[in-house]
Amino acid sequence: MLKDIFTKRQDSFIPSFSLRGKVYRYLSIKLILFINRIWHSHRSSKDINRDSIKKVLIIHPQMAGDNVVATPMIRNLAKQLRRAKISFLTKGYSHAVLSGNPYITDYLFYDEKEEKSFLNWIKMIKRLRKEHFDCVIDTQHQFSTIRRSLIPFLSGARYRVGFWRSKGFRGVFNTHEALYNSDKHGAYLFMDLIKAIGIDIIDEQFEVYFKKQDVEAVSRMLKDAGLTDEDLIIGLHTGNVNKVKLWTEEKFAAVGDALVNLYGAHIILTGSAQDLPYLELLSSRMKHKPLILAGKTTLPQLSALISRLDLLISIDTISIHIAAATDTPTVGIYGKTYIYKWVPWNKQKQVIITGYHRCAGCWLGDYFDRIIPIDTKTNICTLDYACIKDIPVDEVLDAAGELLRKHSVKIHSIVL
């Protein structure tokens, strides 16, 4: 049993322990699981009194794209708890994609440094207790520390909703819970949490919010570049920060040039300011120079821009979820990401391309029982992320052509 706990996980999150450290860790996990079983055996199954819920906290310290994935949960919750004020705890940089969301009353910001420092962590707990939340919904689902698992319990909320997992600390102090299933889409997992407290799922649409001034700002950018509503505009969102998701710049450049040659498209490169060096290199490899808007848009403006595109081609990043919310046709290029969990939401207007390697999709939210080609000392893929890098240009172009023929009136006059 001890061997199983410390050898099944193949990622670098398992540090090297001394024998004494391994024994302490093993006994700690056994104690937590024992408490967990006792807690569950005496847990009340009574329904929640909705009228008593005046303040709700959603704990969601995840990436900006995950915030978009959470919007069906937020909307369905707010519409059925009409008297409740909903606070949203998230990472500071990722909340902008939800700015303008009418269902969120205010935002609280999570700093991972507060968790690492015990004193700062205590201060964060005190701040939460002062809010007197009636219900806390914790969307965190990965292997967690005791401190992070204790936040809902120490908040003082009467109702605490989270995921139950058979391994780790998650679910120990929940009053209501949903079973975590790593094969389920993230949006469905989040909605399962509110179903656990009797909330019905009325609709499942993703949402992003942008204002009139965001639309106007995007229109000015396109007009200054000489683009009109009649032009076929295709966005390439290549990413740059997370190398495990990257397709090569040579292949993106080849796709961009081919789209210009085949369909007379105008190519826009989107992203953040951090992506600029990579995008400038990509642009230098293209014969038909693209319009680079990376770093020139806010997240609401990026949403407005993506809503104007005839097609988006993107790796697994926030843009792909924004496209699902704005009903923009999308080609998703996936490698390490587990597609069943984070695939774009708009099935009618999407084509997902993933690697053919057996280990493709190894980046699960649940790392147990997975044999993956990761060097545990360096956390680097021993196959150099071939699952995404080996995806051929022609396959992406075929998918793009399929979506354009189905959903764009601007290519009807073009002979393929």
pLDDT digits (tens, 9 = 90+) for 223-268: 999 999 899 999 999 876 666 677 888 999 999 999 999 999 999 9
Does residue 245 share a domain with residue 275?
A: yes
Q: What pLDDT was estimated at residue 182?
A: 76
Q: What is the pLDDT of residue 240?
A: 63
Do 220 and 260 reside in the same domain of the chain?
Answer: yes
| pTM passes above 0.75 | yes
Q: What is the DSSP letter of 146?
A: H
Chain length of the chain: 416
DSSP character at residue 215: H
136 vs 152: CA distance, rounded Å = 6
Q: What is the CATH number of the domain that holds 294?
A: 3.40.50.2000
Instruction: Using the Cα atoms of residue 100, residue 222, residue 399 and residue 236 in order, give the sign of their dihedral.
Output: negative
Residues 187 and 233 in one domain: no
> Could you tell me if residue 95 is inside a domain?
yes
**Where does residue 55 rank: exposed (0-12), middle (13-18), buried (19+ CB within 10 A)?**
middle
Residues 254 and 182 in one domain: no
Total domains, the chain: 2
Task: Identify whether residues 117 and 217 lie together within a single domain.
Answer: no
In this structure, are 163 and 238 located in the same domain?
A: no
Is residue 22 a part of any domain in this protein?
no
> What is the tens place of the pLDDT at every residue in 323-342?
999 999 999 888 766 666 67
Least confident range of 61-70, 138-147, 225-234: 138-147
User: Residue 71 sits in which domain range?
Assistant: 43-195
